[in-house]
Amino acid sequence: MKIGFVGAGKVGCAFGTYLKKHGFEIYGYFSKTFASAERAARLTESKAVLDLAELVKNIDILFITTSDDAIKKVCDYLVEKKLLSEGKILVHMSGAASSNILKNAKEAGCFIYSLHPLQAFADIQKAVDDLKNTFFSIEGDEEKLHVLENILKTLGNPYFKLTDNQKSIYHMAACVVSNYLVTLMDYGLSLFASIGIDERQGYKALYPLIEGTIKNIDRLGTKEALTGPIARGDVGTIKNHIAALKDNVEALDFYKFMALKTIELAKNKDENKDLKDLENILKEVE
């Protein structure tokens, strides 16, 4: 089973290298810039190709690892130029889209999939290392799904099987925990900055707290990991927080929104806890 890639960026290079290390045969790479294809070919002991037709003819599975916007364009180009023969497997690795963006290839007799590594890859070498501990999701045509499942089994990576219409929710969840965690950190650091604690020092101070919290979630789950004034029902403390933010409406709105969400979690943790007073304070309009 020969594998080819269109798009020799971080994921194309890293996943190709990872596949190669596990004994898969990589035929080669086509990319917008030939130098990128050459770099990927060196990493995977494969071929940099200038002619897309040559790549597609020589492979069984084609990974389209371009930027998201180019995936459909590449697929439609392959269909339009009649480069795809029946039975080829086409895979993209975007978390945002389902296999449906490759549907024109399906009409040309191919099998279409999305295979998404649930990981943030900033550079190729680190990505190859990180892939070892990465969960994947797969979604697409039932008929050849086992081919991708077998690849993941050989690689030793766990995976979810999704349907086309579950993909957006799955991707949203990943964005919330990854991207919005950064936003949350930025919010905390801006509160530190408002009392003169510089960002780097503030981050160093908060890091052990974050790490401890992640470990608690890992060990106990989100409900049981919840500690702090809301979980305890400390009305006075929350009143002080609100008073301290009274001149910063935007920061206060965000605080109240998150606090009300946290009350829901605290109620799930201990349904006998009376959190009504806390809820009323947080819902009060200034």
Ligand X SMILES: NC(=O)c1ccc[n+]([C@@H]2O[C@H](COP(=O)([O-])OP(=O)(O)OC[C@H]3O[C@@H](n4cnc5c(N)ncnc54)[C@H](OP(=O)(O)O)[C@@H]3O)[C@@H](O)[C@H]2O)c1
Encoded tokens for 258 = 């998150």
**Contact of 13 with 4, CB cutoff 8 Å:** no
Q: Please work out the total of residues on this chain that contact ligand X, with binding judged by CB under 6 A.
A: 27
Comparison of 126 and 232: residue with beta carbon closer to ligand X:
126
Comparison of 31 and 262: residue with beta carbon closer to ligand X:
31
Tell me if 6 contacts ligand X by CB under 6 A.
yes
Q: Which of 51, 68, 129, 277 binds ligand X (CB under 6 A)?
A: 68
Tell me if 245 contacts ligand X by CB under 6 A.
no
Q: How far apart are CA 220 and CA 222, in angstroms?
A: 7
Q: How far apart are CA 275 and CA 229, in angstroms?
A: 11
155-160-166 Cα angle (round to 5)? 145
Comparison of 124 and 282: residue with beta carbon closer to ligand X:
124
Closest contact distance (angstroms) between CB of 180 and ligand X is: 16
Alpha helices in the chain (DSSP H): 10-21, 34-44, 52-57, 68-80, 103-107, 124-131, 145-155, 167-194, 199-220, 222-225, 229-232, 235-244, 249-269, 276-283
Site for ligand X in 24-53 (CB under 6 A): 31-33, 36
Q: How far apart are CA 189 and CA 202, in angstroms?
A: 6
Tell me which stretch binds ligand X (CB under 6 A): 6-14, 163-171, 201-209, 253-261.
Answer: 6-14
Site for ligand X in 97-136 (CB under 6 A): 116-117, 119-121
Contacts with ligand X, 149-188, as mask; x by CB under 6 A: ----------------------------------------
Closest contact distance (angstroms) between CB of 41 and ligand X is: 12
Tell me if 274 contacts ligand X by CB under 6 A.
no
Q: How far apart are CA 136 and CA 92, in angstroms?
A: 13
**Contact of 41 with 55, CB cutoff 8 Å:** no
Largest Cα–Cα distance in the chain? 71
Contacts with ligand X, 198-217, as mask; x by CB under 6 A: --------------------
Binding stretches for ligand X (CB under 6 A): 6-12, 31-33, 36, 65-68, 70, 73-74, 92-95, 116-117, 119-121
